Amino acid sequence: MTVQTRGRGSMRGVSLWFVATGSVFVTLGMLGGIAMAVSSDHTLAPAHAHLNLVGWVTMALFGIYYHLVPAAADTRLARVHYTIATAGVLAMVPGIILAALERDELLVAVGSLLTLGSMLIFVFTVFRHRA
Ligand code: HEM
């Protein structure tokens, strides 16, 4: 009988990268949320929301998916996916801040397209690795 050891109590590779990076993003998002609450200035609430929902919830879901589907995680596309998803958050969240402050809209546009690209890679991956 083959004993499946992978996934029991540990996470590695792309799954770990997604969850670990997301946990850093949500920590920053919570600090931003506390700063907003303390200052009573909610101007940057959309940046906070996207850092938490795209940077944490979405990234963590990707990480859990790759943990559950190792065949999808052990691919170059999965590493490209991680890079594009992370770059998307790193561009989109500061981009939302700049847009909210009416300074610039290019960065948020780039971040949005990277984030969309990341989701398209995920859609492709889910269908490619269906049973
Ligand atoms: C320490 C933890 C957190 C604090 C102190 C915090 C604080 C805040 C504050 C002050 C606002 C603005 C509310 C308003 O303008 O009406 C807000 C909005 C929001 N937060 Fe958080 N938050 C926290 C964690 C989270 C997490 C973990 C998520 C999602 C996973 C989240 C998602 C949102 C969303 C979606 C909004 C609405 C944004 C908008 O109206 O544009 N927050 N939060």
CB of 52 sitting under 6 A from ligand 1: yes
Residue 9: pLDDT band (50, 70, 90) is confident
Residue 21: pLDDT band (50, 70, 90) is very high
Q: What is the DSSP letter of 101?
A: T
| pLDDT tens per residue across span 22-54 | 999 999 999 999 999 999 999 999 999 999 999
| pLDDT tens per residue across span 55-74 | 999 999 999 999 999 999 99
Q: Please give the distance, rounded to the nearest whole angstrom, from the Cα atom of residue 14 to the centre of ligand 1.
A: 28
pLDDT at 125 over 70: yes
Nearest atom in ligand 1 to the alpha carbon of residue 36 is 10
Three-class SS of 27-46: HHHHHHHHHHHHHCCCCCHH
Nearest atom in ligand 1 to the alpha carbon of residue 46 is 41
